[in-house]
Amino acid sequence: MKTVSVSKAHGGVQGVYQHSSSVCACEMTFAVFVPPQAASSPRPVLWFLSGLTCTHANVMDKGEYRRMAAELGLIVVCPDTSPRGEVDDVPDNWRIGKGAGFYVDATEEPFSKNYRMYSYLIDELPALVETYFPADMSRQAIMGHSMGGHGAIIMALKNPGRFKSCSAFAPIVEPSTAEWSKPALSLYLGADEGKWNYYDATRLVEGGKRFPEFLIDQGASDQFLDEGLRPWLFEDACDRAGIPLTLRMHDGYDHSYNFISTFMDDHLRWHANRLTLSGSSTVGAAASLQHVATI
Amino acid sequence: MKTVSVSKAHGGVQGVYQHSSSVCACEMTFAVFVPPQAASSPRPVLWFLSGLTCTHANVMDKGEYRRMAAELGLIVVCPDTSPRGEVDDVPDNWRIGKGAGFYVDATEEPFSKNYRMYSYLIDELPALVETYFPADMSRQAIMGHSMGGHGAIIMALKNPGRFKSCSAFAPIVEPSTAEWSKPALSLYLGADEGKWNYYDATRLVEGGKRFPEFLIDQGASDQFLDEGLRPWLFEDACDRAGIPLTLRMHDGYDHSYNFISTFMDDHLRWHANRLTLSGSSTVGAAASLQHVATI
């Protein structure tokens, strides 16, 4: 692993790192913020998965997470959104290829060679984080924005034992039916739409996957609300499944980092609360709803 | 004036605007954050002047000022650092030309046609802000980073009646003797170095200019500390002139926005405190030192 840059911020260290990924078969870059408390003890890890067109740098520059992460003592890991470099791409379509990995393991040529963001984030990158950073891997949380909100929710649903909590900003909750994600899924996973359900948050809940609870913030003036996001679909599924979901609609907010940064503190506190709970998931879920009402 | 973008953030509005500048003879872009309190009353104006290579966008993206500005009720104006577009430039030198206006009015051809950032920021842009935004122009403060710290301090010293307070992150305090500013000043102002003193904070204080007090934060690991910044030169001049200066050296911090964003809250609170004081400058100065000790 190569250090690209390190810089002191809010008492901690914001770093950018590069490594040769065997899963994605290319060089990958990611950002890690280590809070000051790591000097004395391993810290919980919060993953932030970014949206379409983003790299690790967007939330690092504009997410405004460091002040609160330093206060709470959270390590924040910000991965890239796709393989990079000399990999197959659809350069004239920002919703397919580089910057649009959709957090799946592609099964179709030529994308199956590199587009394996699911395994990269579940297997390869956590091992690196555990090796090189003062991380308490028994306490992990995950969040994301837009395509990254989709990624965070499916990873939580498919790995409920790993993540203590999950939240999202303006997530894509049903990628298998959203016009802006279908073209990528058909190229990555093939024409059989049944296979897309494996990476579809709403379908996963309908199919029996469970997670203690979710927090979703959504801008009411988000230009992609009706086209690609439609959080009410996931809200309905969670309601039917008995999964507590707090969906907050925010008047006037759009899809940008101005929206994310406004509510970032809320999300970090929400996760920190759950990461430090030693009780079971059920207890956590019950306690959390009261907490959400006060954040 | 044309609106480039507006986006809700922290309850206020972050906008980007463009206008045809008569002073700089080109199209100029600037950013304004309007806090939620502007809905009920005009708000004080805090100017943030950016450093070399920056546009209005750097601090807008990475400065992390909106949360606290919204809490305090401050309008934050972030101008560009030079004229733009089809203007004379020295493209192979990032310390001269575009992105390196140094907040002076150039007197030498060809730069004198466009490089007039001093008059632009003292005359033209304030008039626009007063016309188009809910601004209380009787309460203005100014701050900046690096080259913009230089700009903020000279503007405060030359216009003590306009600005209630002035602070800087890692400012260039003696541009007339710093190797990285001398080439630009010689091209903008000519070979007579005596004329450079008109825009040199340390010389201005030595020449009798006064301001109630200054707050300067400086990273101790700043790579430019000895080459271009040297805040102790200004500290000495202020000490001899009896101007209260709080210079805080911060271990481990560099020259980047990670440093700026870490201490941004402190600066905004410091300015807000002075902008709402109704007493004289002397009273403000006396009160401020106690406050600085507690921020």
* Tens digits of residue pLDDT in B169-222: 999 999 999 988 999 999 999 999 999 999 999 999 999 999 999 999 999 999
Is residue B249 pLDDT above 60, yes or no? yes
Catalytic residue among A105, A200, A217, A222: A222
Range of lowest pLDDT (A275-279, B61-65, B106-110, B173-177): A275-279
Is B7 in contact with A254 (Cβ distance < 8 A)? yes
The pLDDT score that the predictor gives to residue B283 is: 31
Quick one: what percent of chain B has pLDDT higher than 90? Answer: 92
Show the 3-state SS of chain B: CEEEEEEEECCEEEEEEEEEECCCCEEEEEEEEECHHHHCCCEEEEEEECCCCCCCHHHHHHCCCHHHHHHHCCEEEEECCCCCCCCCCCCCCCCCECCECCCCECCCCCHHHCCEHHHHHHHHHHHHHHHHCCEEEEEEEEEEECHHHHHHHHHHHHCCCCEEEEEEECCCCCCCCCCCCHHHHHHHHCCCHHHHHHHCHHHHHHCCCCCCCEEEEEECCCCCHHHHHCHHHHHHHHHHHCCCEEEEEECCCCCCHHHHHHHHHHHHHHHHHHHCCCCCHHHHHHHHHHHHHHC
pLDDT one-digit tens code per residue, B223-247: 999 989 999 999 999 999 999 999 9
B255 is catalytic: yes
The average pLDDT across A114-127 equals 98
Question: CB-based contact (8 Å) between A278 and chain B?
Answer: no
Report chain A residues whose CB lies below 8 A from the CB of B252. 8
The pLDDT score that the predictor gives to residue A289 is: 33
Question: CB-based contact (8 Å) between B7 and chain A?
Answer: yes
Show the 3-state SS of A212-258: CCEEEEEECCCCCHHHHHCHHHHHHHHHHHCCCEEEEEECCCCCCHH
Q: Which of B34, B58, B64 to mutate to test the interface with A (most CBs of A within 10 A)?
A: B64
The pLDDT score that the predictor gives to residue A203 is: 98
pTM value? 0.92
Banded model confidence at residue A227, pLDDT cuts 50, 70, 90 = confident
The average pLDDT across A263-274 equals 97
Banded model confidence at residue A276, pLDDT cuts 50, 70, 90 = confident
Question: CB-based contact (8 Å) between B65 and chain A?
Answer: no
Shortest Cα distance, chain B CAs vs residue A59, angstroms: 10
How far apart (Å, rounded) are the C-alpha atoms in residues B263 and B267?
A: 7
The pLDDT score that the predictor gives to residue B276 is: 81
Question: What's the Cα-to-Cα distance from B198 to each of A17, A147, A201, rounded to whole Å?
Answer: 45, 53, 63
A 10 A CB-CB count for B19 gives 15
Q: Is A275 helix (H, G, I), strand (E, B) or coil?
A: helix
The average pLDDT across A14-26 equals 98
Banded model confidence at residue A285, pLDDT cuts 50, 70, 90 = very low
The average pLDDT across A236-261 equals 98
The pLDDT score that the predictor gives to residue B227 is: 86
Is A14 in contact with B258 (Cβ distance < 8 A)? yes
Question: CB-based contact (8 Å) between A8 and chain B?
Answer: yes
Secondary element (H or E) of residue A125: helix A125-132
The average pLDDT across A161-178 equals 97
Quote ipTM for the complex. 0.91
